[in-house]
Structure 1
Amino acid sequence: MAKPRIFEKPMGVRDFLPEFVSKKKWVEKQVEDCFRSWGYREVITPTLEYFDTVGKASAIEEEKLFKLLDGQGRTLVLRPDQTTPISRVVSTLMKEEPFPIRLCYHSNVFRAQEREAGRNAEFFQSGVELVGDHSPEADAEVVALAVEAMKACGVQNIQVAVGHIRLLNALLEHVVQEPEMIAKLKQSLGRRNLVEFRESVQSLNGSDKKQMVLSLLTMKGGQERLDQLAKMDGGKQVAEEVTHLKAMWHALEDWGVASRVVLDLSLVGSLDYYTGVYFEGYGSEGYYLLSGGRYDRLLEQFDRPASARGFALKTDRLVMASTQGPDHPERVALVYSRNMRYEAFQIANRMRRQGKAVSLFVKESDRSFDSLAGYDRVEEVIGDGNL
């Protein structure tokens, strides 16, 4: 195997230059302020976790986990997501704290990618977890907070698409009733392979069945779609899930964000992970900025069963989608002769206290200052503390 060249990096990892880093930190600050104002407290979890605990409990497929061995031969993983480690924390270090618990995070996560996929193996996320509240208001809260976090970063044309896993399951079980076909239809939706989904529907018996299942692809809208579902004779489970979803929708209206939310029953996320509401957030130019939902089964794996929901913002994409950014201080290049060094240092400190970013350069006969063109202002110390 050839030795890597000096400019090469492992597949899927990146270097970040100052301009991106500056805006990334600004985005994270806006998001953090928003989370804190809603009562969420930040936690930090390890980059390394045990495969047998967090790795196996994570919704991320095993083939996408970065695995390594510690000195005792135990398998570790690089953190593939934040929801699973936080579930571990809630169930252990915070086990005496009463529900509900509101936590938030900013971190990098790691997922192995196939060489031809061209995706990042390390990326940044900011998100929240609301644990221990089964109410529709709690579901609405994380959706509303997702909208507010995107607004805080200056994202334009925000839209959140909301699906509901239990409602989808109940509808398919009521109409299709064949477990193998239900699994096949859900897998097609999970892969967003609508051609495959329609082909599977055509194999169903009865035109009414076909029409009902195909209608899931167009079951998009707002309150009117929920009213339509409420009138449907879909059985007890469908009625219960529609009631919960309507209550959540009314809470979203009270939050003032319902106009940015659209119901989409074809939206499913990770089929084996989410148990109720699932949602995705978008901004201008179709930027896919976040995903989240309800995951009531995860905490059972850490021996503290509880309802839970949350979302993760895709920080890299949020940086690109944001129309705003940090206010950069004036960049000043301060040139001085060595006999004026003390004066130059005092001037630099005074200017820094005024909020300017000051870099110092020694004036020498053989030195060119062409590189100072990138500064907003170039000043030379000439004597008596003057410029």
Structure 2
Amino acid sequence: MIQRPRGTRDFGPEEMEKRRYLEGLMRAEAAVFGFREVATPIFEHTELFTLKSGPNVVEEIYAFQDKGGRDISLRPELTAPVMRFFVNDLSTSPRPLKMFYFGQCFRYERPQSGRYREFFQFGAELIGNLGPESDAEVIALAASIMKRIGIKEYNIRIGHIGVLRGMLAEAGVTAENAPPILQKLDKKEYDEARLRMAGAGMVPEQIERVIEITRTVGPIGTLDKIGGDAKAHLQAIFRILADYGITNVEVDLGVVRGLDYYTGMVFEMDAPSLGAEKQICGGGSYSLTELFGGERTFSTGFGIGFDRTLLALEKEGFQAPAHAVDAYVIPVTEAVKDQAFRIAGQLRGAGVSAEVDLMGRNMSKNFKYAAAINARNAVIVGEKELASGSVAVRDMTSGEQKMVKLEELLPEIERANK
């Protein structure tokens, strides 16, 4: 047998219904906030990702040459493609421009719990003004999505990349040497970070002050440890979030995100039920448009790891609504099959979910099948009943059965399913 590639999955009907249900809730909440959906190609020119993340990213993604010799990659994330789309076609759109997306991404990494080579990401990007209002709007959307889907335990940690960038710059660290240091701080690999900071010319007191700041976590008052524009910006974000009714947030100046293009506010959301691999959402304010040939534009956004979020929900006992069919139509004899198909067609045409016996089962097996597919009603089509212009309708929950005129069947099924 040919097996599926490592790091990918097949999804059966029940799993897909659960995923589509959750995806639908996320889409609905984004729409409530005025975000509109966009879509981009699954593969892009490799340069799009190397410009953003550097040439080393090629080792972590599915990169190849197409038949025309062009360097192409399966997208490892969706922010860069969406911003490329903005520069190409949407730069004259009214501001704020609010976009959301959902799709597959691909990374060549070691598969583990909640992490796959093919994975799904839900995200949003807001292009507007360089201010706390836009940042708070995006964080509020991410938090509201978590509330809408029903996740019970999650934390929102908010920081500002400008704090650490400023400290490194004041200590004489060049713009070229800062990113490797920030990446180590992001991963809390402090020994490596210390070595890199020392190598960049920082003295021990400066190094330990940076480490101390990355461990600064707590309520809004924690910001007293810093000053300047970053403090005022974060205070304004917290104030707006409180106005929105979102209070389960904390300051975490150790949120670094480790990527060059983040410029200001950064945030992460964790689900404690996932243990060590607990992050389910991350984002912040950034600048990418100038890399892709556009004018420098303020943007802020986030990406939700859909698979990991679903895993966190399941650990909390999440169950999607069970699959159900409004009506299962059973022809009693061969002679009434055509009429059974007509009835099923009429119900479907009216928007009622209906299945009809395709296997030629006897009555007993048909009732078992109706129960297996969670049919709410069985519509029994018999010759005697049809002679009087009627069918029998059985409520599959209560077992009650009654005769219903054909012209009254649709309203009866609709009434029974309310």
Name the structure 2 match of 1:256: 245
Percent of aligned pairs sharing the same letter: 28
Native 8 Å contact 1:163 1:266 kept in 2: yes
Normalised TM-score (structure 1): 0.83
Q: Which has the larger radius of gyration?
A: 2
After TM superposition, give the deviation of residue 267 of structure 1 in Å. Answer: 1.5
Name the structure 1 match of 2:392: 386
After TM superposition, give the deviation of residue 171 of structure 1 in Å. Answer: 3.0
CA distance 1:260–1:302, shift in 2 (3 Å) = farther
CA distance 1:338–1:194, shift in 2 (3 Å) = farther
Name the structure 2 match of 1:21: 16
| Aligned pairs, number | 369
After TM superposition, give the deviation of residue 147 of structure 1 in Å. Answer: 0.2
Deviates more, 1:39-48 or 1:269-278: 269-278
Distance 1:248 1:362 in 2: 61
Deviates more, 1:312-321 or 1:57-66: 57-66
Q: Give the 5 Å matches for 1:288-299.
A: 288-299=279-290
After TM superposition, give the deviation of residue 284 of structure 1 in Å. Answer: 5.5
CA distance 1:113–1:261, shift in 2 (3 Å) = same
CA deviations on 1:287-320 (whole Å, 9 max, x unpaired) are 4321111112444432221011101111222333
After TM superposition, give the deviation of residue 177 of structure 1 in Å. Answer: 4.3
Stretches of structure 2 lacking an aligned partner (at least 5 in a row)? 386-390, 394-418
Structure 2 residue corresponding to 1:325, chosen from 317, 320, 324: 320
CA distance 1:226–1:320, shift in 2 (3 Å) = same
Distance 2:312 2:352 in 1: 28
Instruction: State the secondary structure of the residue aligned to 2:157.
Output: strand
Stretches of structure 1 lacking an aligned partner (at least 5 in a row)? 231-238
Name the structure 2 match of 1:233: none
Q: RMSD of aligned C-alpha atoms?
A: 3.2
Name the structure 2 match of 1:32: 27
Name the structure 2 match of 1:88: 84
CA distance 1:136–1:270, shift in 2 (3 Å) = same
Structure 2 residue corresponding to 1:104, chosen from 89, 95, 100: 100
Name the structure 2 match of 1:235: none
Instruction: State the secondary structure of the residue aligned to 2:101.
Output: strand
CA distance 1:136–1:316, shift in 2 (3 Å) = same
Q: Give the 5 Å matches for 1:1-387.
A: 5-6=1-2, 8-52=3-47, 54-59=48-53, 61-114=57-110, 119-174=115-170, 176-177=171-172, 185-194=181-190, 196-197=192-193, 209=206, 212-230=209-227, 239-257=228-246, 259-283=247-271, 285-286=273-274, 287-322=278-313, 323=318, 325-326=320-321, 328-330=323-325, 333-336=328-331, 337-349=333-345, 353=350, 355-363=352-360, 372=369, 374-377=372-375, 379=378, 380-383=380-383, 384=385, 385-386=391-392
Normalised TM-score (structure 2): 0.77
Native 8 Å contact 2:96 2:128 kept in 1: yes
Instruction: State the secondary structure of the residue aligned to 2:89.
Output: coil
After TM superposition, give the deviation of residue 21 of structure 1 in Å. Answer: 0.8
The structure whose RCO (Cα within 8 Å, separation 6+) is larger is 1
Name the structure 1 match of 2:408: none
Instruction: State the secondary structure of the residue aligned to 1:68.
Output: strand
Instruction: State the secondary structure of the residue aligned to 2:243.
Output: helix
Distance 1:183 1:305 in 2: 20
CA deviations on 1:154-173 (whole Å, 9 max, x unpaired) are 11123211122111222344
After TM superposition, give the deviation of residue 217 of structure 1 in Å. Answer: 4.1
CA distance 1:345–1:112, shift in 2 (3 Å) = same
Native 8 Å contact 1:42 1:105 kept in 2: yes
Paired letter, 2:219: G
CA deviations on 1:3-22 (whole Å, 9 max, x unpaired) are xx42x111211111111211
CA deviations on 1:71-129 (whole Å, 9 max, x unpaired) are 32111111222111111111121132243311111111111224799941111111111
